[in-house]
Structure 1
Amino acid sequence: MNNFTVKMPTTIQFGKDALSKMSVQLKADGVHSALVVFGGQSAKISGNLDRVLAALKAADVTPVLFGGQHGSKTGHQGSDWASIQEGAKKAAEADAEAVIGLGGSAVMDMTKAISFVSKHVDVNLGDIANQSLAGRDRLQTITIPTYPSGGSEADAFTEVFDAETNEHVSLLDLYPHYAYLDPTLTYSLNDHQTTQAALVAFVQQTLNYLGQGSEIANGMAKVILDSLINNLVILKQDLHNYDARGNVMWAATLTPQSLMNAGTDDDWMSFYVDQEMLQRWLNLSYRDSTLMVFPHWLKRIAIKNRANVEKFMLNIVFDGQRPAGDLVDVGVDVLEKQFTDFGIEMKYAEPQTNEQKAHLEDLLAEVAEADLQDYREMLQACIA
């Protein structure tokens, strides 16, 4: 087992009474005003925003609404820097003492960023990009996920995209102070959204499982991977099954925690470089590109890391029963079919434009010559 450091400073309250506990905590902390960050109309239509506002009223907290936040306006992963600055200014003008995020991962990221920037309103993104902000002054940060998938509601990373510079960066160690997880807040997700959320969490957890060196970390990752698939099967039959939604929500929250890969030997975060390449090429969403490229990314990395990928295929995809044929090749086909059977589009079916063909060559120009053919095959495998 390798050396490791684990940090999990976020206080997490899970259950149907999570928002009631938030009311108690806010009152105990003496919070009187809070900026409430949320996404689109779904927060209002679902009644989730009303539930949060009722919890704030019970705590005598005045809400300042900051809605319509969907993350990057250009479709890139991460929250939008201009919107973060706007929200921070609004929080500062209202003398908000807390920032509360209600929504998916982009809203969670925006909430964490606003809590910091509201105390440093003149900061430039380049001055804080990709560095630890631990211990720096910020507002109390509260996250309430309604689209459990990326785990940003309790992790250290805050993804930000600056449309002016076309730059995607991470702000580090902005753990929320509190996360309130209520599975009933996810009941507004339809079948496709629920499926995408569970499978994106599955992909992200796989990155933990691929590492070698810690049977404890691998064991925890396997339990979560199996649970995500088993509970997704239940949700395909009973969309509002509370226990199944709860298991998916908790799995998504745990997935990016450092505990999940503590003691393993490799960092597989390079997956996101490949995922973003497909996203940029075909102008796909983060979730679509993540699921579409995943099986083919596994095949690509198996060229140099075959033992890691075979471990995943044998123990997760085939549940310990080795199939006939090449384990990786057969596993890629089975995994792609499994995602397809769950209702995920695993091939880009639109005709490629000349612009897209040229863009592919521009993207491949970023790849080392020795890896060029492998990357080309990975990306083209995503085309119908």
Structure 2
Amino acid sequence: MLGNFKYSNPTALYFGENALEGLHQELPRYGKNILLVYGGGSIKASGLYEEILAILKKEGKTVIEDPGVMPNPTVEKLLEGSRLAREHQVDLILAVGGGSVCDYAKAVSVSAHCSEDPWTKYFLRMDDVDNPIIPVGCILTMVGTGSEMNGGTVITHPESKLKIGHVFGENVYPKFSVLNPVLTYTIPRRQMVAGFFDIFSHILEQYFSGEDDNTSDYLMEGLMKSLIHSTRIALNDPENYEARSNIMWTATWALNSLVGKGKSMDWMVHMMGQSIGGYTNATHGMTLSAISLAYYRYLLPYGLPKFKRFAQEVWHVRPEGKSDEEIALEGLHALERYMTELGVALNITELGVTEDMLDGIVQGTFILNGGYKVLTPEEVRQVLKASL
């Protein structure tokens, strides 16, 4: 393990079929006014909405509703939610849904009392929070982003075709999250598999970096193997509790900052994927899957030992009679076969990207270091073209 780091995580997790009962422990800690944030009508159709309202009523809370959070929350929606939270003097934001709803809730939490335009402050300038923050709690109905236990939030600006994420500090993490695997059963298959790959991508982007003997890499290999095993079961039996519970737990640990400790990290798949999302409004997990194979094939020569290790430790590729490069490439072939099993997008053309969009997508891609190669804008273009 190289370097020095601090690890702490302030989010309390309530996990299991009775996890919703955790609200009775958490809600008394906060004031009366609750902003209930959710997406479409699925939580009403499932009965979850009424169940949550009954708990809030029992705890003596006043509920202000903020429905209609879209899969890629927009600046306009953020401003609407921030106004609601401010005008009703909200004491807690309770997000019910998947990663987009949780992301949005955190964005509202830092924006409601912001004295300037939050898009400029937090997503263009990437400033820290220096205004009051409204606490957030999450009830998950879809897994993938890990937003239930981290400070990340992603907002889209449709007019400029920019989709930008900001990872805030511990002060913005949800104070608590409710994780009941049963609540994920009704998610449509395409959303389900997009979430599965989102989890996998979070792990890969932290894994493909560094050259030291790092405990975090061993943890990630275990998470990846568990995820592969459980997602294959869930594809055939979406209501298999054991599989869905393992997937939910893996999603949380894939991006609550634990496995990135002691490592540099490579988030270029997310940077390109978010820029693609700004142009296409495509599902987040699909933007990651569509760019991943092209990117990792490009990166492989620069991080060959780790790609070889990935092939052997995660996919059990036999090394006999093969060069290191052949072993590594076989690992990426195994990844591609798995992605095909899942049914995720394998190229950006599937998402509606055309060659005339590439200039804008390149311009909207933040180039980060930390991986085995710092890309130039022209290399970003090459990867995008290879993924068409």
Give your verdict on TM over 0.5: yes
275, 279, 284: which is aligned to 1:286?
A: 284
Q: Report how far residue 206 of structure 1 moved.
A: 1.4
Contact 2:272 2:361 in 1 (8 A): no
Moved more, 374-383 or 60-69: 374-383
Deviations along 1:334-379, one digit per CA (max 9) or x if unpaired, are 32122112222424566989xx3222355558899x9577545533
For residues 97 and 364 of structure 1, the distance between their equivalents in structure 2, rounded to whole angstroms, comes to 40
In structure 1, the residue corresponding to 2:258 is in which secondary structure? helix
Change (3 A) 1:228 1:14: same
**For 1:157-306, what aligned pairs fall within 5 Å after superposition?**
157-167=152-162, 168-170=164-166, 172-173=168-169, 174-212=172-210, 213-264=212-263, 266-279=264-277, 284-306=282-304
Q: Are 1:140 and 2:152 counterparts?
A: no
Deviations along 1:180-238, one digit per CA (max 9) or x if unpaired, are 11111111113332222122101111122223335321121111111111111111222
For residues 250 and 16 of structure 1, the distance between their equivalents in structure 2, rounded to whole angstroms, comes to 13
For residues 376 and 84 of structure 1, the distance between their equivalents in structure 2, rounded to whole angstroms, comes to 31
Q: Are 1:152 and 2:152 counterparts?
A: no
Code of the residue aligned with 1:238 in structure 2: it is: D
Change (3 A) 1:379 1:328: farther
Equivalent residue, structure 2, for 1:331: 331
Q: Are 1:382 and 2:387 counterparts?
A: yes
For residues 59 and 121 of structure 1, the distance between their equivalents in structure 2, rounded to whole angstroms, comes to 32
Moved more, 295-304 or 370-379: 370-379
Cα RMSD between the aligned structures?
Answer: 2.9
Equivalent residue, structure 2, for 1:76: none
Equivalent residue, structure 2, for 1:84: 78
Moved more, 156-165 or 32-41: 156-165
Moved more, 359-368 or 249-258: 359-368
Q: TM-score, normalised by structure 1?
A: 0.86
Equivalent residue, structure 1, for 2:370: none
Equivalent residue, structure 2, for 1:75: none
For residues 156 and 215 of structure 1, the distance between their equivalents in structure 2, rounded to whole angstroms, comes to 24
Deviations along 1:81-103, one digit per CA (max 9) or x if unpaired, are 22122112112222321101111
Equivalent residue, structure 2, for 1:69: 69
Contact 1:12 1:181 in 2 (8 A): yes
Equivalent residue, structure 2, for 1:127: 121
**For 1:74-113, what aligned pairs fall within 5 Å after superposition?**
79-113=73-107
For residues 379 and 159 of structure 2, the distance between their equivalents in structure 1, rounded to whole angstroms, comes to 32
Code of the residue aligned with 1:276 in structure 2: it is: Q
Change (3 A) 1:373 1:269: closer
Unmatched 5+ stretches in structure 1: 73-78
Contact 1:364 1:372 in 2 (8 A): yes
Contact 2:136 2:175 in 1 (8 A): yes
Contact 2:97 2:141 in 1 (8 A): yes
Q: Report how far residue 279 of structure 1 moved.
A: 4.3
In structure 2, the residue corresponding to 1:180 is in which secondary structure? strand
For residues 41 and 74 of structure 2, the distance between their equivalents in structure 1, rounded to whole angstroms, comes to 18
For residues 128 and 273 of structure 1, the distance between their equivalents in structure 2, rounded to whole angstroms, comes to 17
Code of the residue aligned with 2:60 in structure 1: it is: D
For residues 319 and 379 of structure 1, the distance between their equivalents in structure 2, rounded to whole angstroms, comes to 29
For residues 265 and 146 of structure 2, the distance between their equivalents in structure 1, rounded to whole angstroms, comes to 18
Q: Report how far residue 108 of structure 1 moved.
A: 0.5
For residues 363 and 276 of structure 1, the distance between their equivalents in structure 2, rounded to whole angstroms, comes to 9
For residues 352 and 151 of structure 1, the distance between their equivalents in structure 2, rounded to whole angstroms, comes to 27
Q: TM-score, normalised by structure 2?
A: 0.85
In structure 2, the residue corresponding to 1:379 is in which secondary structure? helix
Contact 2:197 2:285 in 1 (8 A): no
Deviations along 1:84-140, one digit per CA (max 9) or x if unpaired, are 22112112222321101111111111111212222336554323342333x752222
Moved more, 271-280 or 103-112: 271-280
How many aligned positions are there? 371
Equivalent residue, structure 1, for 2:34: 34
